Chain A
Amino acid sequence: MSLLRVEDLHVEVDGKPILAGIDLAVDAGEVHAIMGPNGSGKSTLANVLAGRPGYDVIRGSVTVDGEDVGTLSPEERSLRGLFLAFQYPIEIPGVSNMEFLKAAVDAHALARGEEPPSAVDFVKRARVAAMRLQFDPDFLKRGVNDGFSGGEKKRNEILQMLILEPRLAVLDETDSGLDIDALQIVADGINAFRANSNAVVLVTHYQRLLNYVVPDHVHVLAGGRIVHSGDRGLALELEERGYGWLDD
């Protein structure tokens, strides 16, 4: 059984069709890359997977481990192991990274029927993750993404992923706007996360990340559909030729 299965997914926003029949199957242990022109629907797909309100699923289904998650709230999906790294992470002044992460980790522990970790254990864990992503120690005290640079926000998404240990991580352009070192840090984070029990969907515009995080499959999303799929060679070809040739 696929970890994630998307079938014939049609999605509208305010009556405007955006996804027009997406089919996608992701197995445990796999990395899939989704590429495609601006406005083709990549973030829409990512947000719909995460259960964000405001999207109307007109037709089709999304299942995780065989369970239809279509009617689940964003938090229920998260608790079942879905994780979305946002293309544009939100700033939340006044709520520290520490509080935010603790609230999330506690919710996940409770959902598994476990005691939430003690504050001391949690802080240790958070510090390790922060170090891995090369954040200052005082990062945990700062407001969530508050005044963070673009690259810091992206690294923070990966940090959250490492702490929450999802089954399926959808990373929406986590590589955009990163300098060379930060790209390496993010790639190392993703590789450290990869395991046979989980899967990663990378939305990206650039082939560079895929040199570090080698995908098993590459898909091209255009006009709300997956118009082409291939192996990692497809990403190299897209980099060279653009998207135009796919129309032919």
Chain B
Amino acid sequence: MAGSTTDGTALAEMILAQGHSSYAPWLDRGPHLDLVERRALPEVRAEAWRHTNVARWYQAILEGSEPAREAHRIENPAEVEVVDFADPRAAELQEQRGEETYRLTAQPIAALNALLLGAGIAIRVPAGCAAREPVRIFDLPAAYQRVLVIIEPDARIELIEEPSTYTHRLVEVVVRPGGQLVHRRLQAASSHRECSLLAIRAEARACYELSQLSLGSDLRRNDIIATLAGNAANVSLRGAWRLDESRHLDNQIAVHHQAPGGTSRQTYRGVAAGRSRAVLNGRIEIAPGAQQSDATLNTKNLLASDTAEIYAKPELEIYANDVKCSHGATVGAIDAEAVNYFRTRGIDEHTARALFVRGFLREAIDDPDTAQTLGLIQ
């Protein structure tokens, strides 16, 4: 092996040789082990990894460069149940989760999360709960970590993932009928190589809203799968990112309408400067029988330098006939006319561009204060 790159096979061998993690022993790791034994981890040029060199992430795993941490750092209102995955109670909550929120064959690297898992928490928001304070996840003490969130019927809460580092984070969210989750994910600029999978199941009349702000990492991949599994579910995904230097952010997002009458809204705004690379693959899938689904995806992107790269691709797969569906993707430059307009009012070019970018990103941001604190907008 050349040393700087590695493929899934080398990684599989390492994992099989050292054995899987013994953390949360109740977790059924059979399918994950099987996937690794079959050497079914993604290859470097796999279609799903077109824009991200998965070998660079594998390399980070082999190097095990993740710093050790001591404890969960999480804040939650008293009425919310929070359980460590080491606790057998977490197994009960996992049981309550019900069917898979994602398919392992479509998300093979999630197998590594299970096999190397070092930290996990299960969060249950009891039926009817309307907590005013959010649940805040600051840090989980391992490189491979997972969060299970169950919003019981008619419960309502806000969940905030504060910036932290990891090698892989899996977040599973189940919103039971009539439940509501407002989910904010903040991803600060980082020199780590990080992957995450966020898998959501929204049941009947459930409402899930994501707002994800990201500054990219040395390598960052965010996979999101949102399934509208019950009638009249509502999913809104908003994302804003701004990359500079040689940061990398690859968003692979899929929304599945599996039941009738669902509404999904996807709004993304991205800016890439320096030699950065931003990717958005947004997929809408409407299953047969998911009539009267209403789905939109809108992404606009700005190239702020000649050397940055942006790939934005919406995809539709519609198997029902009575649906409303629209999508649009644009990649453009910072509007020179707008910058000139600012400048004729005495505003210097640098500030003018920053103001323009801020205005642009705001179209996908519902909380400018947080975005500002994070440094996403200046």
Contact = CB atoms under 8 A, between A and B. Distances in A.
A231 interface: no
Q: How large is the interface on B (under 10, 10 to 19, 20 to 34, 35 or more residues)?
A: 20 to 34
Most buried by A among B337, B345, B347, B362: B345
B342 interface: yes
Interface stretch (A22-30, A83-91, A205-213): A83-91
A107 B352 CA distance: 11
Interface string A102-116: 011001100100000
Contact of B346 (A90, A107, A143): A107
A95 B356 contact: yes
B349 interface: yes
A74 interface: yes
Contact of A73 (B336, B341, B343): B343
B31 interface: no
Given A90-B338, A92-B338, A74 B344 contact: yes
Contacts of A50: 344
A119 to B, nearest CB: 16
A103 B347 contact: yes
A79 interface: yes
Interface in A23-53: 50-53
Contact of A164 (B336, B345, B363): B345
Contact of A94 (B347, B351, B359): B359
Contact of B344 (A52, A93, A94, A108): A52
Interface string B324-352: 00000000000111101111111111010
Contact of B345 (A94, A100, A143): A100
B355 A78 contact: no
Given A78-B345, A103-B347, A104-B346, A53 B340 contact: yes
Contacts, number: 77
Contacts of B355: 95, 99-100, 103
Contacts of A89: 341
A155 to B, nearest CB: 16
B340 A143 contact: no
A70 to B, nearest CB: 16
Given A90-B337, A100-B342, A107 B359 contact: no
Given A52-B344, A74-B343, A164-B345, A94 B338 contact: no
A198 interface: no
Contacts of A8: none
Given A78-B343, A90-B337, A95 B349 contact: no
Contacts of A51: 343-344
Given A94-B358, A107-B346, 16 more contacts: A73-B343, A75-B347, A75-B348, A89-B341, A90-B335, A90-B337, A94-B360, A95-B355, A95-B356, A100-B345, A100-B355, A103-B351, A104-B347, A107-B345, A107-B351, A164-B345
12 contacts: A51-B344, A73-B349, A75-B345, A75-B346, A83-B344, A84-B344, A94-B359, A94-B361, A100-B342, A104-B342, A104-B345, A107-B346
Which 9 A-B residue pairings sit nearest by Cβ, starting from the closest? A94-B359, A95-B359, A78-B346, A74-B343, A104-B345, A107-B346, A94-B362, A90-B341, A75-B343
